[in-house]
Chains A and B, each alone.
Chain A
Amino acid sequence: MTLSDPLDVPRPHAQLHFGVFFQGVNHWTIWSAPDSGSQIDPASFRQVARTAERGLLDAFFLGEGLRLREVDGKIHDLDVAGRPDAITQLAALAAVTRRIGLVSTSNTTFNEPADLARRLSGLDLLSEGRAGWNVVTTDNAWTGANFRRGGYLDHADRYRRAEEFLSVARALWDGWEDGAVAPEVGAPAWSAPGGVHQVRHRGPQFDVDLAPTLPRSAQGHPVIFQAGDSGEGRDFAARNADVIFSGHGNDFDDALAFADDIRRRLRAVGRPDDDLRILPGTEIILGATEEEAQEKKRWIRLQQVTPATALGIAGPLWGIDLSDRDADGPLPKEDPVVSENDSSFGARRIADPRAVVAEWQAKAEAYGWSLRETVIALGPQRGHVGTPSGLADKFAHFVRHGATDGFNVTPHLIPDGLDDIVDLLVPELQERGIYRTEYTGTTLRENLGLREPLTHRSAPGRRQAG
């Protein structure tokens, strides 16, 4: 990559923001290495959060899945699985961290606004203004079997419910006026008369009526994150989110196209186009030299894509159970079977399996790859590989050209997978003037450089949050 003059770019003073995504479930988290720790032991969470804070990261993220994944009616047994409830875990981390944001992925389909808004405000107060909420909608029906409401919502209704959910949550967070809580010992009343408002909401999705339980936090509201890639998801983000957790962070052109699309959508709803941070999830693999980094990547991929995982990825593509084949042998000779009924819950769906299989077969033949090598080379790709200095240049390029505002790093190893990034990459970014050298604020909203919550932009006399 040729590097332009750092000042001759669209955003010469842009700062890069990092989050760390403590992944719950997927094959990218290596569990078989000798130094891979527990996914559930509180010490693992503490260590990652503290490393992140040492590296001045903005946020510590937890994902959510409300039913164990299944393939063909059987629980998927190859990947790390089993995780704590996110808000509960983050409330514990609030006690042992000081500056890092604590972001919970919590869906709007299988929660109720009064309950979730209250839990998130509690986290926000316990962390003194460091809570974030990654609003997801749950894209499948099978999760409903674990909840009172059962069933599920189709795509359009899920975002309608999410939007209405969020507006109820915001009304609750705004229900206590600033200064509603008596500031002094011996006050005549705990809360100022009339300072707490009853929230009444009648809508197609919710019919609720309640007094909120908590005042606003140091950052006003939890910071709103959004993850979801459809047009509806992006519009929802443009209307509501402070941060997007995207999947567009590997390729510069793809990331820039996504960011431009989001900026268009922001302008369309009347928000300035720097009103929102885009943090794609990504894996970062570092080596002292380019060769060493590539060597490390090869080792990591072999750990991630075990023979069983390779067969597990290829099986749904072919539409055939391949679990008794040899992953280190040649590709299956069969043509793919395309079935209308997908019995894989939580596994990926493939748009056009025949075309993908044809490409795989051609390339494997040309390079003499085994099935496993083919899955590694052509299966889901992710991340950035290089030296700390090379990647710092690359990331500076991404950020200064407005392709992203940073990254949400997904370590391949728990709990040490973030150490390299903090110890080797962060200093290089700092040298380039693209990464903070100390926390700029005490709240998540301040550290992300965000304005005050959307509901409070024009209200006169409000305290500035950011």
Chain B
Amino acid sequence: MSGPALHLAVEIDGDGAHPAAWRRAAHSPGQLLAPRRVARVAAIAENAGFTLLTLDDGVLPPGAAPDPVGRIGAVERAAFVAASTSTIGIAPVVPVTYAEPFHVSSQLAALDHISAGRAGWVVTEEERPEAARAWGRPRVDDAGARTRESRDGVEVARALWDSWEDDAVIRSVATGRYLDRERLHYIDFTGETYAVKGPAIVPRPPQGQLVVLGRPDRVPSAQLDVALVEGRDLASVATAAAAAGTPRVLAEVEVALDTPGATAAERVADLERHTAWSDRGRLRHIGTADQLVAVLVELSRHVDGVRLHPLVLDEDLAVLSRLVLPALSGRRLVARPLPGTSLRSALGLERPANRFTAAAVATQEDAR
């Protein structure tokens, strides 16, 4: 394979991927919610050369019921981080199981404007029954119904992003018209459980369409730009990647690395005394930085990139930026995103044509 082959994403929610990660964090629990901390972690990820950071979320607090951990909403954190970084892509997790797709679409379009085209969206589901109680809505409890809500939510958000053509704002002093209403479109979406009229209230995002990431078994692959694939070993990741059917595929990789103070295995064992690091069926690397580089080199033959889930951000992010990313760029296996590029171009994705503009062109051609 020629040229940079791996796009590196990192999940930076909370203190790390392990549910007890906060116990090894370098700060007190409350500092997790301080704006300085949010900006600092993002700055470390950007300086390390990651293409993308993601921020997990959900309506319920993370952490088990007797010991809840606080979490600021991912869209709000993403917007804050967008204003304090300049090159890294930023993708909040936003489930649309119960949320209003119109709001979600506006929030994400706003994030893309704020970040000058660096925004993505990780589509997930609210699976816990308590989420329905929090929203005060009837439970969407079978997998099929949740997939339907995700599919419809993504469809509505994407249609709304196209509902303003790129040049809908004309500022025509001669005619006194600010908008060309011919270039604004009702989406008239009607799904099984709701309908949305449109157009959006936010003009089309700079990227045209944000980069949409998700699990191909949960969101129809035609709606995804990037599939997030899982598998406990290389072979199953390779199989999942081959089946994804999306423009790009990132493998989910959980990592715990040796640090100067303790080995990866010791660090994991320390946290396991408190809570189990549940097996989500993802590739998990517990070991040295060099071994991780070898795993990633191997993965680069099957996927376009990886999303890393570090055990403890305060510990593993430092090792990733000091050892792992430099080793990969030394082998020309990754390239850091350039200032001024959109997330789409960093991932080598085209800026999509607007569906309404395209439809108008097609009609004209038919008429000929």
Contacts and interface: CB of A to CB of B under 8 A. Distances in A.
B197 A146 contact: yes
Interface stretch (A120-128, A224-232, A239-247, A390-398): A120-128
A41 B201 CA distance: 15
Interface in A107-160: 110-115, 118-119, 121-123, 125-128, 145-148, 150
Contacts of B179: 75, 77, 81
Interface string B55-69: 000011101011111
Interface residues of B, number: 78
Contacts of A209: 130, 133-134
Given A31-B171, A84-B114, A92 B80 contact: yes
Contacts of A309: 176
Interface string A169-186: 000000010000111111
Given A114-B136, A125-B33, A308-B176, A84 B110 contact: yes
A210 B116 CA distance: 36
Contacts of B82: 92
A115 B135 contact: yes
B178 A206 contact: no
A118 B178 contact: no
B238 interface: no
Given A193-B66, A309-B176, A92 B83 contact: yes
Contacts of B99: 115
B160 to A, nearest CB: 9
- Of B65, B72, B109, chain A has the most CB atoms within 10 Å of the CB of B72
**Main SS class of interface, A:** loop
A80 interface: yes
Given A110-B100, A126-B72, A189-B67, A96 B83 contact: yes
B68 A191 contact: yes
B113 interface: yes
Contacts of B177: 77-78, 308
Interface stretch (A10-18, A61-69, A282-290, A328-336): A61-69
B29 A79 contact: no
A208 B134 CA distance: 5
Contacts of B181: 74-75, 77
B173 A32 contact: yes
Given A190-B67, A208-B133, A65 B201 contact: yes
B337 interface: no
B201 A82 contact: yes
A123 B83 CA distance: 14
A119 B76 contact: yes
Interface stretch (B20-28, B263-271, B276-284, B293-301): B20-28
Interface residues of A, number: 76
A271 B365 CA distance: 68
A17 to B, nearest CB: 25
Interface in B55-98: 59-61, 63, 65-73, 75-77, 79-84, 98
Given A32-B171, A196-B68, A68 B202 contact: no
A165 to B, nearest CB: 11
A377 interface: no
A42 B113 contact: yes
Interface in A345-395: none
Contacts of B136: 112-114, 206-208
A145 B189 CA distance: 10
B35 interface: yes
Given A78-B177, A190-B63, A181 B201 contact: no
B195 interface: yes
Interface stretch (A211-219, A248-256, A432-440): A211-219
A105 B116 CA distance: 24
A27 to B, nearest CB: 9
B196 interface: yes
B14 to A, nearest CB: 10
Contacts of B27: 185
Contacts of A190: 22, 29, 63, 67-70
Interface in B192-247: 193-199, 201-203
Contacts of A308: 175-177
A459 interface: no
B83 A93 contact: yes
Interface in B127-148: 130, 133-137
A340 to B, nearest CB: 24
A167 interface: no
A118 B29 contact: no
Contact of A187 (B29, B100, B137): B29
A118 B135 CA distance: 12
13 contacts: A42-B113, A77-B178, A82-B202, A85-B106, A95-B81, A110-B100, A125-B33, A147-B100, A147-B196, A183-B28, A187-B28, A210-B133, A211-B65
Q: 10 closest pairs, A vs B, by CB?
A: A308-B176, A84-B110, A210-B134, A95-B83, A145-B197, A122-B76, A91-B79, A122-B72, A92-B83, A88-B110
Given A89-B114, A182-B30, A213-B68, 14 more contacts: A32-B173, A68-B184, A77-B177, A83-B202, A85-B202, A95-B35, A114-B135, A115-B59, A145-B197, A182-B28, A187-B29, A209-B130, A211-B65, A211-B68
